[in-house]
Amino acid sequence: MRILVTGATGNVGRMVVDELLTRDFDDVRALTVDPERAALPAGVSVVRGFLGRTATLPAALDGVDVMYLAPHPATAFEVCRMAADAGVRWIVDMAGAKGDHWQVIEDAVEACGVPWTHLEPGEFMVNALIWADQIRSGDEVRDACPRAVNAPVAQEDIAAVAAEVIRGGPDRHAGHSYELTGPEALSRPEKVAAIAAALGRPLTYVELTGAEATARFTAMMGEYGPWYLDGLAQLAAAPQAAGSTVSDLLGRPAMTYAEWARRHSGLFR
């Protein structure tokens, strides 16, 4: 079975390649814009290309049975049509919560007529890097919406689920949507406290509101800042609960936020 991993330079896609290899798949093809930076293992077939440049895809899709589809909304419908025309038999996509910004990914996959499985992660734990500059330079984290609660998921777990689903096969997983969360729902100050514990030093959470919050998030995230703030407000009004899907699929506990912070503490030093 030939498996194409798209977005193989990105954090999740690159991890999917490794997870597939640990499950003894021996015909893995990686689509990457930068093979040198991706540093793919020996034995992985590499095609230079990008989902946003569909002219690079025919060579990548040739002979593929299963495609792991990274999220790229702008070309999702065209990419999925090309996959169907190339004879891909199953698409495992990474999208997001139904109805949000990433819904177009699922719509495109379902429209092409190929059997599908949707992976729907919530916020990634690595989004904590929006605080990294503040933490490296001081002991305060200036943030907004401290009452926003969600259950962020580790990218390592998303990749492991993708590979495990592919190993399970379409007979078991086709037609399913899997919402992926971490094992615990946490507030923003609780996440900062976990990072502080991993670093072994105190951090003080400072709430920002109004124009000050908008300015801070726009400075950190550009045009996505106000969108992200809106999402936090929604999580304050309707907190996201933790689910067990990751542990159910992997047969092991999902990574906790504290463990993620310990593993990646160097990002904040």
| Structural domain contains residue 248 | no
| Listed residue (63, 179, 76, 60) closest to 121, CA to CA | 179
Is 214 in contact with 229 (CB distance < 8 Å)? yes
Is 150 in contact with 235 (CB distance < 8 Å)? yes
| Domain shared by 100 and 49, yes or no | yes
Residue with tokens 């040198």: 36
Residue 97's pLDDT is: 87
Long-range contacts of 74-79 (CB under 8 A, 24+ apart): 75/51, 76/104, 76/105, 76/107, 76/108, 76/109, 77/104, 77/107, 77/108, 77/111, 77/112, 78/54, 79/6, 79/51, 79/54, 79/108
Q: What is the CATH number of the domain that holds 32?
A: 3.40.50.720
Residue 11's pLDDT is: 87
| Domain shared by 16 and 103, yes or no | yes
Please identify, among 105, 121, 137, the residue that sits at the C-terminal boundary of a domain: 121
Tell me: the pLDDT tens digits for 14-47?
999 999 999 999 999 999 998 888 889 989 999 9
In terms of pTM, does the model score above 0.85?
yes
d(CA 229, CA 248): 31
| Structural domain contains residue 160 | no
Question: And the tokens for 231?
Answer: 């999402």
| Structural domain contains residue 146 | yes
What is the share, in percent, of the chain residues with pLDDT greater than 70? 100
Q: Count of CB atoms within 10 A of residue 15's CB? A: 21
What average pLDDT does the structure give for the chain? 96
Q: How many helices (H) and strands (E) does the chain have?
A: 13, 11
User: Domain total for the chain?
Assistant: 2
Residue 121's pLDDT is: 97
Determine phi and psi for 230, rounding to 5 degrees.
-60, -40
Residue 261's pLDDT is: 98
Tell me whether strands 186-187 and 116-121 are parallel, antiparallel or unpaired.
unpaired
| Structural domain contains residue 203 | yes
Q: What is the CATH number of the domain that holds 131?
A: 3.90.25
| Structural domain contains residue 170 | no
Q: Which domain holds residue 263?
A: 125-152+183-241+255-268
What is the C-alpha end-to-end distance of the chain, expressed in Å?
Answer: 43
d(CA 127, CA 167): 28
Average pLDDT over residues 151-169: 98
Tell me: the pLDDT tens digits for 182-193?
999 999 999 999
Q: How far from chain centre, in Å, is Cα 212?
A: 29
| Structural domain contains residue 193 | yes
| Domain shared by 141 and 262, yes or no | yes
Res 194 pLDDT > 90: yes
Please identify, among 121, 139, 168, the residue that sits at the C-terminal boundary of a domain: 121
Res 171 pLDDT > 90: yes
d(CA 246, CA 162): 10
d(CA 201, CA 147): 23
Q: Report CA dihedral (63, 3, 10, 109) to the nearest 10 degrees.
A: 80
| Domain shared by 75 and 143, yes or no | no
| Structural domain contains residue 49 | yes
Confidence grade of residue 10 (pLDDT, cut at 50, 70, 90): confident
Tell me: the pLDDT tens digits for 199-244?
999 999 999 999 999 999 999 899 989 999 999 999 999 999 999 9
Tell me: the pLDDT tens digits for 82-138?
999 999 999 999 998 888 889 999 999 999 999 999 999 999 999 999 999 999 999
| Structural domain contains residue 176 | no
